[in-house]
Amino acid sequence: MNKNIFLIIVCIILLGSGASWVIQKANSSYELTVIKKVPAFSFITQDGLSFTEESFHKKATVLDFIFTSCAGPCPIMTNNMTHLYEDYENVPEVQFVSVTVDPKIDNASTLKEYAKANGVKDDRWQFLTSDIESIKDLKKNGFMLYAGELPRGHAIKFVLIDQDGQIRKYYDGTDKASMAVLRKDLNNIVNEIQS
């Protein structure tokens, strides 16, 4: 009997340490490599203010490319972004940026209305516009994203940018499971900023 109890205890200790090891491995498995730095740019926000690559500093940023009259994937993307915007309400280190790919229609005032319609009530979520060539250039060369026939041919990615203005990872902005990964990574960046 004593021998059995001893065996059970040994097994439990082994299982427990194995489990702790696996959990620890899992927790440290969220790798975030540095892909590249976002190049210099200067766009205009929905409030008519300037937004440049400097605006990424000391913030964790989630950025996407949309246009307000888009009926395809944009509503899903903006809906996902809205959830993030609401959930990260008390984390001032996190900001959200949506860049229009249709500057002809999406001027500052259109974007402001779009922001309001999506429940944006502070400066944690910025909507940017510029001229079509600058947008195309930033998207294609700055973010290495597809920029074919804009506005319709725009990428559906969310881009995670760190406190030094570096691109860290891309996510499918329409995928629920990808959003869960994004949240994990975002928290890790915030931890980096806070420490």
Run of H or E residues at 52 = strand 50-52
| Longest distance between any two alpha carbons in the chain, whole Å | 82
Residues 88-147 that bind other proteins (CB under 8 A): 88, 90-91
Buried-state track 124-156, b at ≥16 Cβ within 10 A, e below 16: bbbbbbbeeeebeebbeebbebebeebbeebbb
Stretch that binds other proteins, among 98-106, 116-124, 127-135, 169-177 (CB under 8 A): 169-177
Residue 43 binds to other proteins (criterion: CB under 8 A) = no
Under 8 Å between Cβ of 98 and 63: yes
Residues in the chain: 195
The SS3 assignment for 27 reads helix
Residue 76 binds to other proteins (criterion: CB under 8 A) = no
DSSP 122: S
- Rounded Cα gap, residues 182 and 187, in angstroms: 9
Residue 19 binds to other proteins (criterion: CB under 8 A) = yes
Under 8 Å between Cβ of 134 and 127: no
Residue 33 binds to other proteins (criterion: CB under 8 A) = no
Run of H or E residues at 168 = strand 166-172
Smallest separation, CB 169 to other proteins (Å) = 6
Smallest separation, CB 26 to other proteins (Å) = 4
Smallest separation, CB 113 to other proteins (Å) = 27
Residue 163 binds to other proteins (criterion: CB under 8 A) = no
Residue 166 binds to other proteins (criterion: CB under 8 A) = no
Stretch that binds other proteins, among 44-52, 65-73, 112-120, 168-176 (CB under 8 A): 168-176
Binding residues (CB under 8 A) for other proteins: these are: 12, 15-16, 19-20, 22-23, 25-27, 29-31, 87-88, 90-91, 169-172, 175-178, 180-184, 186-187, 190-191
